[in-house]
Amino acid sequence: MKTRRDVKNDGRIVELSRRQFLQHGLLGAAFLMASRLGIPPLSFAAAPPRARPANKARAVIQIWMWGGPSHLDTFDPKPDAGNDYTGPFNKPIASNVDGIRINELLPLLSKQADKYSIIRSMTHGINGHETASYIAQTGRPAGGRLVYPCSGAVVSLFHGYDAGYKGLVPPYIVLTELQGRFSESGFLGLKYKPFATGGDPAAARFAVEGVVLEDISDQRQRSRRELLDSLNTLHHAAKGDPLLTASDQARQQAYDLILGDGGKVFDLGQETEPVRERYGKNTFGQSCLAARRLIEKGVPYVTINYEGWDTHKQHFQIMRRKLPELDKGFSALLEDLSDRGLLDSTVVWWGGEFGRSPRVQWEAPWNGGRNHYGNVYSCVLAGGGFKGGRVVGASDARGEEVRERPVYPCDLIGSIYQQLGIDPDGLIPNSQGLNVRVTPDASENVKSGGRLKELS
Amino acid sequence: MKVAAASPVIMIIATAAWLSLTAAVSAQNAGTALAYVYPAGGQRSTTFRVIIGGQRLAEITAAHFSGRGISAKIVDNIQPPKQEEVDEYMDELRELAKRKLATLHPGKSDRVAKKLNQVWTGDDEERLMVLAEMAATFSRFREAPAVAHRVILEVTVAADAALGRRELRLESPLGLSNPMIFMVGDIPEISKPPLSARAVVATVGERRFAQWRRFLLTPEPTLEVSLPTVINGQIGPGERDVVSFKARKGQRIVVAIIARELSPYLADAVPGWFDAFISLTNADGQELAAADSWRFHPDPVMCHEIPQDGQYFLEIRDSIYRGREDFVYRITLGEIPMVTAVFPLGGQTGTTTKVTLRGWNLARTSMEISHPMTPGLYPICKNGRFCQSTPFARMSVDTLPECLENSSPGRPRSEQDVNPPVIINGQILQAGESDVYSFTGRTGQTMVVEVMARRLGSPLDSFLKITDAAGTVLATNDDSEDKGAGLLTHHADSRVSVVLPADGLYRVHLTDIQGKAGDAYAYRLRIGEPRPDFELRITPSVINLRRGATMPFTAHVIRRDDFAGEIALSLLHAPDGFVLSGGRIPPGQNQISMTLSSSRTSSTGPIELQMQGCADISGRQVVHPAVPAEDMMQAFAWRFLVPTETLTAFVSEGKNRSAKLASPTNSIRIPQNGFVMVPVGTSFKKPPGNITFELKNPPKGITLTKQFARAQGAEIMIHADADVRVGLKGNLLVVVAVERVAEQPEEKGLDPSTPATNPPTAKGTPSVAATKPTPARPAKKNRRESLGTLPAIPFEIVPASSI
């Protein structure tokens, strides 16, 4: 029997049989529909969240560079630092913005530099994957009394079903795998966890878990549903019961997602071949394309979990393979969003949990590797009202320390919230009576360099 | 029984997938690096083959073992297969794999094969395995170069070779490798076949196969052994090795593993070592005992009394089913002596202590140990057997007066008066027991209370509490880090330093924080005023340098009882021409780079060196040897200084360079927010190109800003920023390099009208390229080549006004 992974609320990963998985998929979809229909969710009924009306952005695409990309080998090159720092990448290329140079293997992105800004002074000083991932996406250090929600869950709270989102597709989507060992929704609970598609957008059929099944046709699904309906004796016996009626409606909408127009958003075959080629016919490129389609459908938050950047060993060989893939997918996304008039309303956030050690580890067993590095790293922001063609902050000559304008994760996340009309200084509504701000203030003793006024 | 994870078919698919990758081997600019030795030891009076795995082993010329009685000759050096060799055989490999599938598992699409009545012969299988191994080896060389290269030695262990632990290094023209542990024993040994590359590739090569690997186990014949024996093996991914043996009722069998001890820290693994798990089952498959550690040691030890005559099975695997070439183990199996408890754990210098031993299969339960006059840590016994099965078991010898605690099992005692300075030898014998010692102190007196237990092999996880006569808690401590305990990852020994607030009685309370107890839970408790002191470590333990050249190394200081003074490091009995530069370790610093230089007339080869550190401590000249060590990383982040047996300089002939590099021997004074010009000597018979100077890892704020050519070398400008602290001292390392200007190729073929000269293709038609102009060859880049390092330049930051 085929098995699939599911992540429990406490972070445990469990294997599901296909039958269980189908049930989960339907139940999950039904759950989301139920929340749209006003059926009390299992976690809590939140008070309507407060969002600023004057938002410049309405959606976020987060390109999560899972594992931590090298800042020196992407958007903060240091060609004069010497071979022990640059490795073979010592010829950065100019971009279409005077003074901005990026890695030589990112030529397509170099032509889009006017659309994005680079923050070269990101810092949190944490070198562990889990704790750095947490602070980079929640804005708060790990280890406190509460587990905080990440930005995707917060946006889902303020711009999701509670705020009038009517989409069939859940408001917080992860392409394609959850990060694991990371609670996206934190204390907000199950309702605000992302929907992870699973599958591979680059495959012939993007088998989205619970929505598009790899080996079951739509017709077969419909037949199954009819059979299930005919066997649903409770429904027949208690016809007219309000709860069952609401449940029935939720189920109907879940099937609409699976078999109707909702699920079509994942059908990348509806795009022309040149468009698919432009993004790159690989998992990342097609994830970028899927993200664009989701944003078009009104989904407020999409995370692309882009694996493979934890390059302890043979870093440069991996970079030669991955940077062109990144270049193609990321640049196509920016250009496509811009062409379709979506970039102004969509924040594109590129970055990982940290950078990588500027000094190359040439010795065995690394053989030209880079280690984790949280002292300084880079992020990229585009769209959503953020100015493009800028560089915020700077690292030192070897990319080892922040030289000017430190930017902490809470500064970046708070700036994104601002663009979305979410008050970073406001409170997160919750059923537990917690007095929790959207982003930390001085009382929480979390370091801050101030929000990105330079870009807004 | 070797339970292998490799289905041949899966393995071949995985190998082929790996071969499709085109990553190139990275630039290699570091020295020979050994990753494992297999088998990691042998019996006296035997000759056997040993595989050394590592990286950059192509030019190995010799093997060196520490101690006497082991000789070795190189019998093979396995080079990576060439791409074209592998390509040549890949079609045959795929064809064989396809035929095996069709023959052994015929499906609808293989009716033709059925009709042809194909058979799968032993020769086919052998050929398939040979080709698969070649392809897998190629894959391992590219994907895991750190463990893929192999040198085969034929090792002879003499009948009188000293038992116990040795160090093995390989020699190449550029120097000696890092050391690997090699054990010498006196009981018969057996080695399982070395781990094949194809077994590794089959399971780690493709992620999508990983979930299936446990279900693709192919049993091999179980290895049957006679007791006592040492079994050598390597664990591949997902593998479980099983051996069987006959035992009689009542036999007290000891199973002692060394795996983590052989490779204490793996930089790129979590946990950072082979985390062995063992289990013992009877012929019915019933598990009788299992262990994944022995007390706090990751290497498990199991003691089991055999319940009835019969056949028994011992299994070993990694606790989370990892495996790789460097997951090497040795199992000592039989009625071997196993010391489980020692008391006391030390004694005073120049005295004799009667030591009680507890354990299994011991010929005696007590022994007299005469302590040397020099304080330090000494092994309990040197005959190899005990040492093999009781790692870390050491005696601490100290100059302070000693006493025993007043207690015996089952008889609770009240607190015990002691008179500092003193070392109390005690045990936590009852669960929850708190040993209390009282002493009289004075107002303002600083007292140090320190437990020495875990560092001597005791499982005690101590907790200290200091109270005054009224019971007020003055200080507590659970763990106290000791950078000198290189193999420990849990620094369980406690230490507190407290200034006494008043004249009067004070109490020291010592417990096991985990509430555990037993005769093994022994400790040495020091109560006394601070004894400022230091230890030194030198990394790396081998300094490879060319004749006449200079090589940096690092001195580490472990400061005891808040000693903060300066330490002067010096070479002892060094051969002529060897010079240590930058040998002063400034006050308060724990780590500093220095350099060692050889002369142009130094003899080549390995030379054992000795270094010592001298410091003025309270008017006394205190001298300690500098202990060679390897700076090892585990789990991607944590670093440890692991002591080695010898500090060696290896002088090589190297390239015939004509550079003479020199730097000032006296400390230079750099003004804060200013600069100083430093003359350096660089004389060449023939200047090779543009000479450049660069500071290597300078302190923050200190930079080399300019350089000026001079008749006999150059002057370099060293600048200190305004925020560099006045009084900062250290050493500057200056790397000298030359940029060689590349000769550019002639500009040919730029004119499109120039006829192409490409040869025709096999069919006689011009190639596509032949219709185009030959593109200009890319310009060659200038080449930067390091000429070496200048002798370390001591510096001090001084106020700008003082210059």
B12 pLDDT higher than 70: no
Q: How far is B29 from chain A (nearest CA, A)?
A: 7
Mean pLDDT of A56-84: 96
B30-34, B409-413, B588-592, B697-701 — which is least confidently predicted?
B409-413
Interfacial residues of A (vs B; Cβ cutoff 8 Å): 82-83, 88, 127, 312-314, 316-318, 321, 362-368, 371-372
Residue B757 has a pLDDT of 34
Cβ within 8 Å, pair A312-B784: no
Residue A13 has a pLDDT of 35
Cis peptide before A358 (omega within 30 of 0): no
Q: A19-39: per-residue pLDDT in tens? A: 443 344 444 444 444 444 444
Beta bridge partners of B624: B613
Q: Give the whole-angstrom CA distance, residue A6 versus residue A291.
A: 22
Q: Give the whole-angstrom CA distance, residue B290 versus residue B314.
A: 9
Among B327, B636, B692, which would you mutate to test the A interface (most chain A Cβ atoms within 10 Å of its Cβ)?
B636
Cα torsion through A14, A20, A24, A25, rounded to 10: 110
Structure tokens at B546: 């060319």
Beta bridge partners of B733: B696
Model confidence band, residue A4 (pLDDT cutoffs 50, 70, 90)? very low
Residue B20 has a pLDDT of 32
A332 pLDDT higher than 50: yes
B1 pLDDT higher than 50: no
Cβ within 8 Å, pair A371-B636: yes
H or E, element range at A299: none
Residue B306 has a pLDDT of 97
- Tell me the three-class secondary structure of B175-190, residue by residue: EECCCEEEEEECCCEE
B746 pLDDT higher than 60: no
B515 pLDDT higher than 50: yes
User: Is the pLDDT higher at A162 or at A51?
Assistant: A162
Q: Give the whole-angstrom CA distance, residue A357 versus residue A398.
A: 10
Residue A82 has a pLDDT of 87
In A171-285 the beta strands, taken as DSSP E runs, fall at 172-175, 195-196
Structure tokens at A151: 């930005």
Q: B611-641: per-residue pLDDT in tens? A: 999 999 999 999 999 999 999 999 888 899 9
Instruction: Give A371's contacts in chain B (Cβ within 8 Å).
Output: 636-637
Structure tokens at B414: 């009240």
Give the DSSP letter string of B59-119: T--EEEESSSSEEEEEEEEEPPPPHHHHHHHHHHHHHHHHHHHHHHS--GGGHHHHHHT--
Q: Which amino acid is at B671?
A: P
- The size of the A-B interface in CB pairs under 8 A is 52
- The pTM assigned to this predicted structure is 0.82
Q: How far is A312 from chain B (nearest CA, A)?
A: 8
Query: Considering only alpha carbons, which residue of chain A is nearest residue B143?
Result: A314
Cβ within 8 Å, pair A316-B637: no
Query: Considering only alpha carbons, which residue of chain A is nearest residue B24?
Result: A317
Cβ within 8 Å, pair B33-A316: no
B486-500, B662-676, B682-696 — which is least confidently predicted?
B682-696
**Using CB atoms, which residue from A83, A367, A371 is nearest to B146?**
A367
Residue B89 has a pLDDT of 83
Instruction: Give A83's contacts in chain B (Cβ within 8 Å).
Output: 784
A337 pLDDT higher than 90: yes
Cβ within 8 Å, pair B26-A363: no
Structure tokens at A344: 């102004």
Cβ within 8 Å, pair B145-A367: yes
Residue A6 has a pLDDT of 37
Give the DSSP letter string of A412-442: HHHHHHHHTTB-TTSB---TT----BSS--G
Q: Give the whole-angstrom CA distance, residue A25 versus residue A13.
A: 16
Q: How far is B600 from chain A (nearest CA, A)?
A: 28
Instruction: Give B267's contacts in chain A (Cβ within 8 Å).
Output: 365-366
Residue B211 has a pLDDT of 41
A116 pLDDT higher than 80: yes
- Contact of B109 with chain A, judged by CB distance below 8 Å, is answered with no
**Using CB atoms, which residue from B26, B54, B56 is nearest to A317?**
B26
Q: How far is B219 from chain A (nearest CA, A)?
A: 25
Q: Give the whole-angstrom CA distance, residue B387 versus residue B197.
A: 33
User: Is the pLDDT higher at B405 or at B126?
Assistant: B405
Q: A132-150: per-residue pLDDT in tens? A: 999 999 999 998 889 999 9
**Using CB atoms, which residue from A82, A312, A368 is nearest to B27?**
A368
Q: How does A227-250 read in b/e, with b if 16+ C-beta sit within 10 Å?
A: eeeeeeeebeeeeeeeeeeebbbb
Among A366, A395, A403, which would you mutate to test the B interface (most chain B Cβ atoms within 10 Å of its Cβ)?
A366
Model confidence band, residue A14 (pLDDT cutoffs 50, 70, 90)? very low
Q: B221-249: per-residue pLDDT in tens? A: 789 999 999 999 999 988 899 999 999 99
**Using CB atoms, which residue from B24, B33, B637 is nearest to A317?**
B24
Structure tokens at A74: 């992407």
Q: A265-287: per-residue pLDDT in tens? A: 889 999 999 999 999 999 999 99
Share of chain B above pLDDT 90, in %: 62
A96-105, B81-90, B98-107, B394-403 — which is least confidently predicted?
B98-107
- Contact of B637 with chain A, judged by CB distance below 8 Å, is answered with yes
Q: Are the beta carbons of B324 and B308 closer than 8 angstroms?
A: no
A226 pLDDT higher than 90: no
B763 pLDDT higher than 50: no
Model confidence band, residue A15 (pLDDT cutoffs 50, 70, 90)? very low
B274 pLDDT higher than 80: yes
Instruction: Give B56's contacts in chain A (Cβ within 8 Å).
Output: 364
Which of residues 529 through 568 in chain B touch A, CB cutoff 8 A? none
Cis peptide before A300 (omega within 30 of 0): no
**Using CB atoms, which residue from A127, A317, A365 is nearest to B267?**
A365
User: Is the pLDDT higher at A302 or at B6?
Assistant: A302
- Contact of B145 with chain A, judged by CB distance below 8 Å, is answered with yes
Cis peptide before B446 (omega within 30 of 0): no
Q: Are the beta carbons of B223 and B2 closer than 8 angstroms?
A: yes
A111-125, B423-437, B652-666 — which is least confidently predicted?
B652-666
Q: How does B484-510 read in b/e, with b if 16+ C-beta sit within 10 Å?
A: bbbbbbebbbbbbbbebeeeeebbbbb
Q: Which amino acid is at A190?
A: L
Per DSSP bridges, beta strands B793-798 and B729-740 are antiparallel
Model confidence band, residue A5 (pLDDT cutoffs 50, 70, 90)? very low
- Average pLDDT over chain A reads 85
Instruction: Specify the 3-state DSSP secondary structure of B12.
Output: helix
Q: How far is B725 from chain A (nearest CA, A)?
A: 19
Q: Give the whole-angstrom CA distance, residue A42 versus residue B257.
A: 52
Q: How far is B142 from chain A (nearest CA, A)?
A: 10
* Distance separating the N- and C-terminal Cα atoms of chain A: 52
Contacts 24+ apart (CB under 8 A), B701-708: B702/B670, B702/B732, B702/B795, B704/B734, B705/B675, B708/B677
Mean pLDDT of B56-64: 94
**Crossing angle of the two packed helices B8-19 and B83-104, in degrees rounded to 10:** 150
A451 pLDDT higher than 80: yes
Q: B327-378: per-residue pLDDT in tens? A: 999 999 999 988 889 999 999 999 999 999 999 998 889 989 999 999 999 8
A184-193, A394-403, B674-683 — which is least confidently predicted?
B674-683
Query: Considering only alpha carbons, which residue of chain B is nearest residue A361?
Result: B30
Q: Give the whole-angstrom CA distance, residue B794 versus residue B667.
A: 4
Mean pLDDT of B775-801: 79
Q: Give the whole-angstrom CA distance, residue B397 versus residue B350.
A: 9
**Using CB atoms, which residue from B23, B33, B147 is nearest to A363?**
B33
Residue A18 has a pLDDT of 39
- Average pLDDT over chain B reads 85
Residue A23 has a pLDDT of 42
Residue A55 has a pLDDT of 79
- Contact of B146 with chain A, judged by CB distance below 8 Å, is answered with yes
Place of tokens 């200007």: B741
Cβ within 8 Å, pair B268-A365: yes
- Contact of B315 with chain A, judged by CB distance below 8 Å, is answered with no
Q: B387-438: per-residue pLDDT in tens? A: 444 555 789 999 999 999 986 555 556 789 999 999 999 999 999 999 999 9
Q: How far is A185 from chain B (nearest CA, A)?
A: 28
